[in-house]
Amino acid sequence: MHPAPVEGSLAQPVIRRLNTLRRLSDEGVVSLERAIREGMQHIGTGEDLISEGDTVSSVRVILSGWLCRYKTLEDGRRQIVNFILPGETCDAYAYLLSTLDHSIATLTPVVYAEVKRAQFEALVARDRSVAEAFWCETLVNSAIQREWAINLGRRLALERVAHLLCELHERLRPVGLIEGNSCAFPVTQMDLADATGLSVVHLNRTLQELRSAGLILLRERTLTITDLDALKSTALFSPNYLYLYRA
């Protein structure tokens, strides 16, 4: 008999996300749901889930809530190097390294599953579809980091902010967190500034420019993209690096 689904279908973002990258077998889905059920955890807003220098001995899979990866310079300046969204992991194979080279903090209350290394390795050894899906996610994370490097190094401020909004919108779509052209957006202007390498003043001015152009609405922690095609054009955005749509 199959075990009952994970409470409240919290595993669904993970299943949907991995299925986008590789079609999971029925057995793989059941095993993954079991691992998620057994490792479910909660953490509040504004806390470090993992701190730079920590030893990692498990795989953390995000079921709900938003987090950010960041590094801090000695003088306190922070750079957000990516966001982690529902259905994604905090680096599936990070336990292969001795320590983590960055920190991961919560932007909202977060529900996640902590899958111990031995359990995770048994899971991926038992089911090739699950193993390939997690490897694909690792490769996609690398592709995202390359795109962020281009964003910071070559795109203008307007293109940079528009590109980040397009990316987050596209990453939320396959896990069912887009309604129409709107999504929850629990990211402060300080977070956006730290993610795009802009001052808060410059970031605010850029958001106003996007609003004035009729491309976005941003209010009450909700982002609405009023003209997605135009925003993508402004950002010079192509979703190919996200590998969201299998051939």
Q: Where are the domains of the chain?
A: 7-144, 155-242
CB proximity list for 69: less than 8 A, separation 6 or greater:
80, 81, 82, 83, 84, 102, 103, 104
Spans of the chain below 70 pLDDT: 1-8, 246-247
- pLDDT on residue 5: 42
**CA distance linking residue 159 with residue 185, whole number of Å:** 19
**CA distance linking residue 79 with residue 71, whole number of Å:** 5
Closest to 57 (Cα-Cα) out of 43, 39, 69: 39
- Region of 84 on the Ramachandran plot (φ > 0 left; ψ -120 to 50 alpha; else beta): beta
- 111-158 pLDDT, tens per residue? 999 999 999 999 999 999 999 999 999 999 999 999 999 999 999 999
Closest to 85 (Cα-Cα) out of 129, 140, 34: 140
- pLDDT on residue 246: 61
**CA distance linking residue 155 with residue 105, whole number of Å:** 26
Tokens of 142: 């690398």
Closest to 79 (Cα-Cα) out of 157, 174, 152: 152
Class of the domain covering 155-242: mainly alpha
The overall longest dimension of the chain from CA atoms, in Å, is: 58
Class of the domain covering 7-144: mainly beta
